[in-house]
């Protein structure tokens, strides 16, 4: 329980400057002093120096890593309020060892699913190129394709993958699916056909990955899988960057071995300024905006405020297991 002194609260990585507008923070007035940081610090020393004074950190999922080394140098830290149901960039064990409470928020996956389809449609219909041509004074420069009767391969058929399958069927696509524990019965429930990973990458016109990042899924797509894809096929990753061998994807695109790829997630974020993904042809990239919607942010920050308020009053909150 905090003392009567106002607690120091930091909101990290508020890139768009919308955290305070996305929820009613007035309930914390007089109880907490809130500092908002819109920039992102990548260097260890800078992160520690910035965060040392704060009792509470409000972190956007997987932006600023809170490693054991960082946590050990934050003597005032008592509460980490993270957005989303999980945050792989927080060392949970180290936090609990230091008596730091971790809490999370609700989440809506609508934004991530909708962005995935926006990227797929943009690639199939050459939207970026046609837009650039029109803005440059030109007119039609390419011939796009249909989704109907094409095949989508879903690597992962969990909550998001299942909804991807439902939308794919609305587009009249054939749906293949694979993951390490997926059963044929579960795939059929969502109108998908379970196949081997190799068959999925060989047969799909669009491959979209929807897995949780873990030790066993890191690098689950590499040169072998990408090498099986048809030269007319597209690859999409809106889940987590490290699921895919970055160097293998770069080489695949440089060799024009597939029709194209779309990415919203990367090994290092923000993406370094000189990274090949910023300039490669046949690649459509967005800056990890899958979950960045007004509606999702309202859930994130509403629950964050409720968690801090609950912690201040000593009532139950959304504690991370």
What is each CA distance from 168 to 3, 171, 183, 221, 260, in whole angstroms? 54, 5, 19, 22, 19
Query: With contact defined as beta carbons under 8 Å apart, do 308 and 56 qualify?
Result: yes
pLDDT over 80 (residue 2): no
How does pLDDT run across 223-233, given as a tens digit for each residue? 999 999 999 99
d(CA 98, CA 109): 32
240 included as an active-site residue: yes
Beta-carbon contacts of 289 under 8 Å, excluding residues fewer than 6 positions away, are 111, 115, 264
Compute CA 14 distance to the chain's CA centroid, rounded to the nearest angstrom: 15
Q: Which CATH number fits domain 7-107+293-313: 3.40.640.10, 3.30.200.20, 3.10.450.50, 3.40.50.720?
A: 3.40.50.720
Query: With contact defined as beta carbons under 8 Å apart, do 230 and 152 qualify?
Result: no
- Please state which CATH class domain 110-285 belongs to: alpha beta
Using N-to-C axis directions, what is the helix angle for 110-124 and 294-313, rounded to 10°?
A: 160
- ∠ Cα 35 36 42 (to 5°): 115
Given this chain, do its domains 7-107+293-313 and 110-285 carry the same CATH topology?
yes
Residue 317, classified by CB atoms within 10 Å of its CB into exposed (0-12), middle (13-18) or buried (19+), is: buried
pLDDT over 90 (residue 62): no
pLDDT over 70 (residue 22): yes
How does pLDDT run across 110-140, given as a tens digit for each residue? 999 999 999 999 999 999 999 999 999 999 9
Q: Of 62, 225, 288, 306, which one is the catalytic site residue?
A: 288
pLDDT over 80 (residue 4): no
What is each CA distance from 296 to 102, 214, 290, in whole angstroms? 20, 24, 10
pLDDT band at 5 (very low <50, low <70, confident <90, very high): confident
Q: What SS3 class is residue 102?
A: strand
Percent of the chain with pLDDT over 70: 97
pLDDT band at 319 (very low <50, low <70, confident <90, very high): low
Q: Of 150, 240, 246, 306, which one is the catalytic site residue?
A: 240
Structure tokens at 147: 């989704």
Residue 81, classified by CB atoms within 10 Å of its CB into exposed (0-12), middle (13-18) or buried (19+), is: buried
Structure tokens at 307: 């968690």
How does pLDDT run across 256-267, given as a tens digit for each residue? 999 999 999 999
Beta-carbon contacts of 197 under 8 Å, excluding residues fewer than 6 positions away, are 155, 178, 225
Compute CA 247 distance to the chain's CA centroid, rounded to the nearest angstrom: 20
Q: Of 269, 275, 282, 318, which one is the catalytic site residue?
A: 269
49 included as an active-site residue: no
Query: What pLDDT score was predicted for residue 3?
Result: 58
Q: Residue 242: which region, alpha, beta or left (left: phi > 0; alpha: psi -120 to 50)? A: alpha
Query: With contact defined as beta carbons under 8 Å apart, do 176 and 195 qualify?
Result: yes
What is each CA distance from 305 to 83, 103, 317, in whole angstroms? 11, 11, 11
DSSP 8-state assignment for residue 195: -
d(CA 78, CA 96): 10
The domains of the chain are located at 7-107+293-313, 110-285
Query: What pLDDT score was predicted for residue 318?
Result: 63
The closest alpha carbon to 310, from 302, 20, 16, 65, belongs to: 302
86 included as an active-site residue: no
The closest alpha carbon to 116, from 52, 64, 165, 184, belongs to: 165
């Amino acid at each position: 329980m905090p003392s009567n002194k106002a607690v120091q609260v930091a909101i990290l990585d508020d890139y768009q400057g919308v955290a305070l507008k996305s929820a009613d923070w007035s309930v914390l007035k007089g109880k907490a002093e809130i500092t908002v940081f819109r920039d992102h610090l990548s260097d260890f020393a800078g992160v520690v120096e910035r965060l040392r004074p704060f009792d509470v950190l409000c972190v956007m999922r997987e932006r600023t890593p809170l490693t054991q080394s960082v946590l050990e140098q934050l003597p005032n830290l008592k509460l980490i309020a993270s957005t989303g149901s999980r945050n792989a960039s927080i060392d949970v064990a180290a936090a609990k060892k230091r008596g730091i409470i971790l809490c999370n928020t609700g989440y809506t996956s609508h934004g991530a699913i909708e962005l995935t389809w926006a990227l797929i449609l943009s690639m199939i219909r050459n939207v970026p190129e046609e837009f650039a041509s029109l803005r440059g004074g030109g007119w039609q420069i390419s011939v796009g394709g249909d989704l109907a009767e094409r095949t989508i391969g879903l690597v992962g058929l969990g909550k998001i993958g299942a909804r991807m399958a439902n939308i794919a069927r609305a587009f009249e696509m054939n749906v293949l699916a694979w993951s390490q524990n997926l059963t044929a019965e579960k795939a059929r429930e969502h109108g998908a056909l379970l196949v081997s990973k190799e068959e999925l990458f060989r047969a799909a016109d669009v491959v979209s990955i929807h897995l949780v990042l873990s030790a066993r899924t890191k690098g689950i797509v590499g040169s072998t899988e990408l090498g099986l894809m048809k030269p007319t096929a597209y690859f999409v990753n809106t889940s987590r960057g490290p699921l895919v061998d970055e160097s293998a994807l770069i080489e695949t695109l440089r060799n024009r071995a597939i029709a194209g790829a779309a990415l919203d997630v990367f090994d290092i974020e923000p993406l370094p300024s000189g990274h090949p993904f910023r300039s490669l042809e046949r690649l459509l990239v967005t800056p990890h905006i899958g979950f960045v919607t007004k509606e999702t942010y309202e859930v994130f920050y509403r629950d964050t405020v409720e968690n801090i308020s609950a912690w201040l009053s000593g009532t139950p909150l959304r504690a991370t297991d």
